[in-house]
């Protein structure tokens, strides 16, 4: 554990929302030839990376020249909200929680981070905390070109996000195998610390499978993830390559220039680099982004056990003869593990042939799998070793993929050209509204895009005309009623999460 006098910090920015596409990257090594289904146009292009030179110890020029063009600078604008007194009649009209005692005024702030191009057609991996809460995102590429970006999907439990710019033939990073990373191996951190664009630093891997509890602590302060049962996956690669605020979302690469991690956090007494930096392994980055591409949310397979990491101090009190491994302390409910014949007291030694002496590594290996996929578990039971094949389940106990809740289509709102989703009561309380539905997509040829300057994706509609909107049905009925009254347009009012400034726009409906 890191001494609690040190401050562990997520190092970069803030956020926005959107939709999704990405890549598939599968790697195998045959001599000095790398075969990959790598990010190209779409998700299934085979690229042969033959005879890629490996830098000699102390020679980082190849890795730097290969990886730096794929790392971008992300600039985020967000709104800092400040509460001010407002007459209660306005609170009632705009749907704000009266508990705060008034309306909000906002102050714009800017922050920056890094990202890694993962496909030639503009998809970029970064940290969730880099883009979270941003009202505007600007991406500056290695060749100094500037683009407006939108958030494609996020996963707070791994702190990974995907954003997109509209461009083609971009220099996409090559994914390496983070399972092959070794302590003492040379690595480079590529990013944009302190707004210094395209900065490369060198160091070694100091440790692997680190759990620093930063995501757990952060998620406890925020709302829960979309999927029940989602918990932080922390199995960081620790490095002493210099990483500072602004490096978040940037690349950690090996001497081949291959991505083995996304730089995410530092441990420091003052918020600046002090020799401890942490990166999300590329194996997790690939899994998360592929899931966002295919399903719109992250699919996690669950073994269904209560694991405990064994060590020299606890093995006796846990009635185990082994001093290392993952003890199955309990199998609550009808879990995948129980169905496969695993038992309480079994000690897991390997997952798919990979040794699991630490709980973070064990959780990482399981988190790479989807519901319905099989995993080979090697266990020690009463002194004997056996292998058990387990078919993982989703967090609802089934083996199927859990789809992201569907939203209404644009046609449901006629020529307005919007897609809308409902908001849970817990979200409303966090945002500070009593009612509302969120716009998830806006068509470029709809009336909203044409007429409403201040309504964008993420806007929360609280009122249409005189009708308070608390569901998709309320919104549809309000539009239908306005048409019935032969009105040519309606007044749409609402707020943005994290801003809480009121907006009202007149929009045509016919």
CA-to-CA separations, 185 to 32, 65, 224, in angstroms, rounded: 18, 19, 37
- Active-site residue, from 121, 155, 159, 346: 159
Annotated catalytic residue 129: yes
In the 8-state DSSP scheme, what is residue 297? S
Count of residues in the chain: 510
CA–CA separation, 496 and 507 (whole Å) = 18
What's the pTM? Answer: 0.66
- Active-site residue, from 248, 268, 335, 358: 248
Domains 306-391 and 410-508 alike in fold: yes
Annotated catalytic residue 73: no
Q: What's the CATH code, domain 410-508?
A: 2.30.42.10
The predicted pLDDT at position 298 comes to 86
- Tell me which residue of 120, 119, 62 sits closest to 258, measured CA to CA: 62
How deeply is 440 buried, as exposed, middle or buried, from its count of CB atoms within 10 A (0-12, 13-18, 19+)? middle
Delimit the domains of the chain by residue range.
7-295, 306-391, 410-508
Q: Are 393 and 413 in contact (CB under 8 A)?
A: no
7-295, what's its fold?
Answer: Thrombin, subunit H (2.40.10)
CA angle (177, 302, 366) in 5-degree steps: 20
Provide the H-helix boundaries in 221-315: 282-295
| Strand ranges (E), 235-383 | 236-239, 251-253, 259-268, 276-281, 306-309, 326-330, 347-351, 354-355, 374-381
Q: What is the pLDDT along the chain (510 residues), one digit of tens a residue?
A: 445 555 556 655 433 332 222 223 333 333 322 223 333 333 333 333 344 445 455 679 999 999 999 999 999 987 554 444 444 433 333 344 433 444 444 466 788 999 999 999 899 999 989 988 777 899 999 999 999 998 878 888 899 988 889 999 999 999 999 999 999 999 999 999 988 889 999 999 999 988 877 655 554 444 333 333 456 788 899 999 999 999 999 999 999 999 999 999 888 777 777 888 999 999 999 999 888 777 778 888 999 999 999 999 999 999 999 999 999 999 988 899 999 999 999 999 999 999 999 998 998 999 889 999 999 999 999 999 999 999 999 878 887 877 765 444 433 466 788 888 888 877 787 788 888 899 888 877 788 888 888 888 889 999 998 888 988 888 888 888 888 887 888 899 999 887 767 888 888 887
In the 8-state DSSP scheme, what is residue 68? G
- Active-site residue, from 67, 78, 121, 129: 129
The predicted pLDDT at position 77 comes to 85
Q: Are 187 and 248 in contact (CB under 8 A)?
A: no
Q: Are 418 and 388 in contact (CB under 8 A)?
A: no
The predicted pLDDT at position 433 comes to 85
- CA R_g for the chain: 25
Provide the H-helix boundaries in 194-297: 214-220, 282-295
CA–CA separation, 351 and 388 (whole Å) = 10
306-391: CATH superfamily: PDZ domain (2.30.42.10)
Annotated catalytic residue 159: yes
Q: Are 131 and 13 in contact (CB under 8 A)?
A: yes
The predicted pLDDT at position 461 comes to 92
């Amino acid at each position: 554990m890191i001494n609690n006098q040190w401050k562990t910090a997520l190092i970069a920015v803030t956020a926005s929302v959107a939709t999704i596409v990405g890549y598939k990257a599968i790697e195998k090594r045959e001599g000095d030839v790398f075969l990959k289904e790598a990010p190209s146009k779409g998700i299934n292009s085979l690229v042969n990376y033959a005879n890629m030179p490996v830098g000699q110890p102390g020679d980082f020029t190849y890795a730097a020249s290969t990886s730096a063009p794929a790392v971008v600078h992300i600039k985020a604008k967000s709104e800092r909200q400040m509460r001010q007194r407002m007459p209660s009649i306005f609170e009632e009209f705009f749907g704000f929680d009266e508990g705060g005692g008034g309306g909000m005024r906002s102050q714009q702030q800017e922050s920056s981070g890094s990202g890694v191009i993962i496909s030639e057609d503009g998809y970029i991996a970064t940290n969730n905390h880099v883009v979270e809460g941003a009202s505007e995102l600007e991406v500056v590429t290695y060749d100094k070109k500037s683009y407006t970006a939108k958030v494609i999907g996020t996963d707070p439990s791994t702190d990974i996000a995907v954003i997109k710019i509209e461009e083609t033939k971009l220099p996409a990073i090559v994914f390496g195998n983070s399972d092959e990373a070794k302590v003492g191996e040379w690595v480079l951190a590529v990013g944009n610390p302190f707004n210094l664009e395209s900065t490369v630093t060198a160091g070694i891997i100091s440790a692997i499978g680190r759990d620093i509890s930063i995501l757990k602590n952060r998620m406890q302060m925020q709302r829960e993830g979309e999927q029940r049962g989602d918990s932080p996956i922390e199995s960081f690669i620790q490095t002493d390559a210099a990483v500072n605020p602004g490096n978040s979302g940037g690349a950690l690469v090996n001497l081949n220039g291959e991505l083995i991690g996304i730089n995410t956090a530092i441990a420091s007494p003052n918020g600046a680099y002090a020799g401890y930096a942490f990166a999300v392994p590329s194996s997790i980055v690939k899994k998360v982004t592929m899931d966002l591409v295919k399903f719109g949310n992250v699919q996690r397979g669950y073994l269904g056990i209560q694991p405990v990491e064994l060590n020299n101090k606890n093995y006796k009190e846990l009635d185990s003869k082994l001093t290392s491994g993952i003890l199955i302390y309990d199998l609550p409910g009808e879990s995948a593990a129980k169905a496969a014949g695993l038992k309480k007291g079994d000690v897991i030694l390997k997952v798919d042939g990979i040794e699991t002496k630490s709980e973070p590594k064990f959780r990482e290996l399981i988190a790479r799998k989807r519901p319905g996929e099989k995993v080979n578990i090697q266990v020690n039971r009463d002194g004997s070793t056996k292998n058990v094949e387990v078919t993982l389940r989703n967090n609802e106990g089934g083996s199927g993929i859990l789809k992201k809740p569907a939203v209404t289509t644009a046609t449901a709102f006629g020529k307005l050209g919007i897609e809308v989703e409902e908001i849970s009561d817990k979200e409303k309380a966090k945002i500070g509204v009593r009612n509302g539905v969120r716009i998830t997509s806006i068509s470029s040829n709809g009336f909203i895009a044409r007429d409403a300057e201040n309504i964008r994706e993420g806007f929360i509609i609280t009122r249409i005309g005189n009708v308070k909107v608390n569901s998709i049905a309320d919104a549809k009925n309000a539009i239908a009623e306005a048409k019935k009254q032969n009105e040519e347009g309606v007044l749409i009012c609402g707020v943005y999460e994290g801003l809480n400034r009121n907006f009202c726009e007149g929009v045509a409906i016919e």
